[in-house]
Structure 1
Amino acid sequence: MIFTDIVFYVLAAILLFSGIRVITTRNPVHAALFLVLAFFTAAGIWLLLEAEFLAIALILVYVGAVMVLFLFVVMMLDINIDKLREGFWSNLPLALTFGVVMMGEMVMVLSAKNLHPSQAVTAPDGYSNTAALGKVLYTDYLLPFELAAVVLLVAMIAAIVLTLRERQDNKSMNPSEQVKVKRSDRLRIVSMPAEVEPPAPATAPATEEKK
């Protein structure tokens, strides 16, 4: 067994442990941190496969952006942890069934003959896996890439629509109603009589002092 195999098994064990702790820990902040650990170990496995671009993208996109957003949401919102864990054990058999099915599919895919070539393939000098990935992605798989982008856009819009709630105490303005406004709607001329100050009360003249 060579050194890279030892590193792979160590990273795989850490990845499995962190993935299990994501769904079993009671604290959502700890679950998010375990998910960050899972992303880091997955990036390490990508580095072992000489896919540096995918490893860096995994760290920058998921760890640097998505997980930071998750932590902000979890730590700023008052989440009822006990309510979130309701129904965990009742849904466990269904989750295990799906997990076993997915594991079987991965075993069948990884056991295919085309994934185990008879001789190692050496990359030529100046080869860039990032350039090769971009060339394949935007030529051979351009249509699936665009379809995935459309699906993600629809999912994002649907999430916004489902979570959007109109607040009763919120003051909002309708631009179309503001454009249609007329002078008579906002200005009213009222004729009011002029105010006249009442005359000052007459005061009696002061009497002359007696000599």
Structure 2
Amino acid sequence: MEFTTALFYVFAAILILAATQVITARNPVHSALFLVLAFFTASGIWMLLKAEFLAIVLVLVYVGAVMVLFLFVVMMLDIDLDKLRAGFWSHFPLALTVGVVVVLEMSAVLWRGFLTVGRQIHGDSGNIGDTKNLGLVIFTHYQLAFEVAAAILLLAIVAAVALTLRRRKDSKYVDPAQAVKVQSKDRVRIVKMKAESDRVTLAATEKQGN
């Protein structure tokens, strides 16, 4: 057995163990941390398959951004675990059915992948993990789909920002367009007043005269 094959089996075992702990751990924080371990292990498997770009994206996007948000939400919210486990067994048959369907679908996909293992991938070297070849494939064969996906993501970002911009009476709101148009004379007003020393001298003189 080669070293890479043995390393693949080690990573696969750790990945299965971490995925099992994600759904069986009683503490939500522990589940999120096991999910981080699963992502790192999956990234290692991508590296063994020479898919460096996918491995780096998995670590940066999911571990670096999504899981940090999950941990922040889980640790900030006061989750009632007893209430969450109250209807577990009542929904178990439906969850088991969905799980079996997902396993059958994944098995069909993997079996088809084993049958078509000799298919060539678009690109110079045929390595999907090579960033250069992946960029060539995206911006040549799938340029239209890539642009459509970018437009949809941009629309989703704008819609999310628009939904959060609601006028509230108890919050202060500043219009950026009006703030840019403000000039210095509108913010600063110079008022001429007599010096304090003259007033102090006048008061002292009046006191001595009395």
| Larger of the two Rg values belongs to structure | 1
Question: Which has the higher mean CA deviation after the structures are superposed, 8-17 or 101-110?
Answer: 101-110
For 2:116, the equivalent position in structure 1 comes to 115
> What secondary structure is seen at the aligned counterpart in 2 of 1:86?
coil
For residue 104 of structure 1, report the CA deviation from its aligned partner: 1.9
Give the Cα separation in 1 of the matches to 2:79 and 2:158: 22
1:5-16 pair list within 5 angstroms: 5-16=5-16
> What secondary structure is seen at the aligned counterpart in 2 of 1:140?
coil
Give the Cα separation in 1 of the matches to 2:98 and 2:162: 28
Q: In the superposition, relative to structure 1, how do residues 3 and 54 fare at CA in structure 2: closer, same or farther (>3 Å)? A: same
For residue 101 of structure 1, report the CA deviation from its aligned partner: 1.9
1:124-135 pair list within 5 angstroms: 129-135=130-136
Q: Are 2:157 and 1:172 aligned? A: no
Aligned residues: 169
Q: Are 2:141 and 1:140 aligned? A: yes
- Please say if residues 19 and 38 of structure 2, whose CA atoms lie closer than 8 Å, have aligned partners that are also in contact: yes
Give the Cα separation in 1 of the matches to 2:116 and 2:155: 33
Give the Cα separation in 2 of the matches to 1:155 and 1:96: 35
Give the Cα separation in 1 of the matches to 2:65 and 2:148: 23
Greater fraction of residues in helix: 2
- Please say if residues 53 and 129 of structure 2, whose CA atoms lie closer than 8 Å, have aligned partners that are also in contact: no
For 1:44, the equivalent position in structure 2 comes to 44
Q: In the superposition, relative to structure 1, how do residues 173 and 158 fare at CA in structure 2: closer, same or farther (>3 Å)? A: closer
> What secondary structure is seen at the aligned counterpart in 2 of 1:139?
coil
For residue 141 of structure 1, report the CA deviation from its aligned partner: 2.9
Which one has more relative contact order, counting CA pairs under 8 Å at least 6 apart? 2
Give the Cα separation in 2 of the matches to 1:160 and 1:22: 35
Question: Which has the higher mean CA deviation after the structures are superposed, 130-139 or 56-65?
Answer: 130-139
Give the Cα separation in 1 of the matches to 2:138 and 2:109: 21
TM-score under structure 1 normalisation?
Answer: 0.64
Q: What amino acid sits opposite 1:13 in the alignment? A: A
Q: In the superposition, relative to structure 1, how do residues 34 and 135 fare at CA in structure 2: closer, same or farther (>3 Å)? A: same
For 2:185, the equivalent position in structure 1 comes to none
1:1-211 pair list within 5 angstroms: 1-112=1-112, 115-117=116-118, 129-149=130-150, 150=152, 154=156, 157=159, 171-172=170-171
Give the Cα separation in 2 of the matches to 1:36 and 1:68: 9
Q: In the superposition, relative to structure 1, how do residues 157 and 85 fare at CA in structure 2: closer, same or farther (>3 Å)? A: farther
Give the Cα separation in 2 of the matches to 1:52 and 1:76: 34
Give the Cα separation in 2 of the matches to 1:77 and 1:128: 39
- Please say if residues 14 and 38 of structure 2, whose CA atoms lie closer than 8 Å, have aligned partners that are also in contact: yes
Percent identical among aligned pairs is 58
TM-score under structure 2 normalisation?
Answer: 0.65
Give the Cα separation in 2 of the matches to 1:72 and 1:160: 24
For residue 58 of structure 1, report the CA deviation from its aligned partner: 0.8
Q: CA RMSD in A?
A: 3.6
Q: In the superposition, relative to structure 1, how do residues 143 and 80 fare at CA in structure 2: closer, same or farther (>3 Å)? A: farther
For residue 154 of structure 1, report the CA deviation from its aligned partner: 3.9
Question: Which has the higher mean CA deviation after the structures are superposed, 7-16 or 36-45?
Answer: 7-16
